[in-house]
Amino acid sequence: MLSPGLCVPLLAVSCALWPAAVRAASCEPVRIPLCRSMPWNMTKMPNHLHHSTQDNAVLAIEQFEGLLGTGCSPDLLFFLCAMYAPICTIDFQHEPIKPCKAVCERAKSGCEPVMKRYNHSWPDNLACSELPLYDRGVCISPEAIVKAEGPDPYYQDPARCNPESSPDFPMDSNNLHCKGPSGVDNCRCKTVRMSLKTYLRNNYNYVIRARVRDVRNQGLEPTAVIDVKEVFKSSLVNIPRETVTLYYSSSCLCPTLVQGEEYLIMGYENEETSRLLLIDSSVAQKWRDRMGRKVKRWDQVLQGKRRAPQPRSRH
């Protein structure tokens, strides 16, 4: 048996080297969106929670999205993925590898107090007592993987910092600033010009005037807390004139917002979660009084285009 400190670093790079027949016979690609940022890309069902398929596992792991959003523990996502989409390797096909007990305990100690505020406790099926110790068995932990030689397996491709290029790719909690192995910041917020052409092309769900209270880049979901001063457009979500939260779809914090400044903000809405989103093509322009009148004119143009009769096709 390989010692745990040596086997785990190799796991992150070994999957791609197996023959296709071996991969197909025993392992399957990770399809759970929350777990695509993990340093392994192959898993095996049933998992440690006895889900027979990844489709079932997706429905179960999604219940933790709210808890992940609190940033209660940097180990929570790694631990959950190791349980719901366990790493599959050629050496351990008979049984998926479990996360180490210490990883579970760190996630639990950080997040259980948050859960208790909402009258929930740490789930029995995620009990830490059932997991192996790092030095007494084979298990997976982020420490072992990060110390592996070669490229950092947590390295996030610059393209993944852009939500438009990979809209379902979750942020990597271990690489919040999208930095490459050299430590160079790969985030470059593109300038989105505030114009009628941009407004018509991007078809924003919401347009608001707001003052920035705080920008938070901790945990899994960078956010901006704002005071809404005026709502020019709201399509799917009711936006009150009070303090609300904007959710960045990228850890690069684009577009840039500065605490204490007032902006005209154009973005998108997630109707299912009632969230206001900021993505790479959103607009955040420092507020000027003439902006309100300009946006109202643009919205009239947009509505006119929608009402205009479409030419009939001739047969």
Of 126, 156, 182, the domain-final residue: 126
Share of the chain above pLDDT 90, in %: 30
- In total, how many domains does the chain have? 2
Instruction: Supply the CATH number for residue 43's domain.
Output: 1.10.2000.10
Look at 69-73, 133-137, 263-267 and tell me which has the smallest mean pLDDT. Answer: 133-137
Query: What is the extent of the structural domain holding 72?
Result: 28-126
∠ CA(159), CA(163), CA(166), 5° rounding? 65
| Bridge partners of residue 264, in order along the sequence | 209, 285
Is 17 domain-assigned? no
pLDDT at 174: 35
pLDDT at 281: 80
Task: Say how far apart CA 287 and CA 291 lie, in whole Å.
Answer: 7
Is 172 domain-assigned? no
pLDDT at 76 over 90: yes
Classified as helix, coil or strand, 144 is: helix
Task: Say how far apart CA 37 and CA 292 lie, in whole Å.
Answer: 40
CB 278 within 8 A of CB 255: yes
Task: Say how far apart CA 177 and CA 99 lie, in whole Å.
Answer: 26
- What confidence tens digit (pLDDT) does each residue in 183-201 have? 344 567 777 888 888 888 8
pLDDT at 26: 73
Share of the chain above pLDDT 70, in %: 70
State the pLDDT confidence band at 85, using cuts at 50, 70 and 90.
very high
State the pLDDT confidence band at 14, using cuts at 50, 70 and 90.
very low
Task: Give the number of residues written for the chain.
Answer: 315
Look at 14-23, 196-205, 210-219 and tell me which has the smallest mean pLDDT. Answer: 14-23
Report in angstroms the alpha-carbon separations of 290 from 65, 132, 231, 293, 304. 40, 63, 15, 6, 22
Is 186 domain-assigned? no
pLDDT at 93: 56
Query: Which residue did the predictor score with more confidence, 256 or 190?
Result: 256
pLDDT at 66: 87
Per the prediction, the chain carries an average pLDDT of 75
Instruction: Supply the CATH number for residue 270's domain.
Output: 2.40.50.120
- What confidence tens digit (pLDDT) does each residue in 237-251 have? 889 999 999 988 766
CB 90 within 8 A of CB 14: yes
Of 126, 147, 180, the domain-final residue: 126
Clarify whether residues 121 and 219 are in a common domain: no
pLDDT at 117: 84
State the pLDDT confidence band at 88, using cuts at 50, 70 and 90.
confident
Query: Which burial class, exposed, middle or buried, applies to 249 when counting CB atoms under 10 A from its CB (0-12, 13-18, 19+)?
Result: buried
- What confidence tens digit (pLDDT) does each residue in 39-56 have? 888 999 999 999 999 999
pLDDT at 2: 33
pLDDT at 226: 94
pLDDT at 53: 92
State the pLDDT confidence band at 169, using cuts at 50, 70 and 90.
very low
Is 163 domain-assigned? no
Clarify whether residues 117 and 207 are in a common domain: no
| Bridge partners of residue 277, in order along the sequence | 247, 268
Taking the chain, what is the end-to-end CA distance rounded to the nearest angstrom? Answer: 73
Of 98, 126, 154, the domain-final residue: 126
Supply the pTM of this predicted model: 0.44
State the pLDDT confidence band at 108, using cuts at 50, 70 and 90.
very high
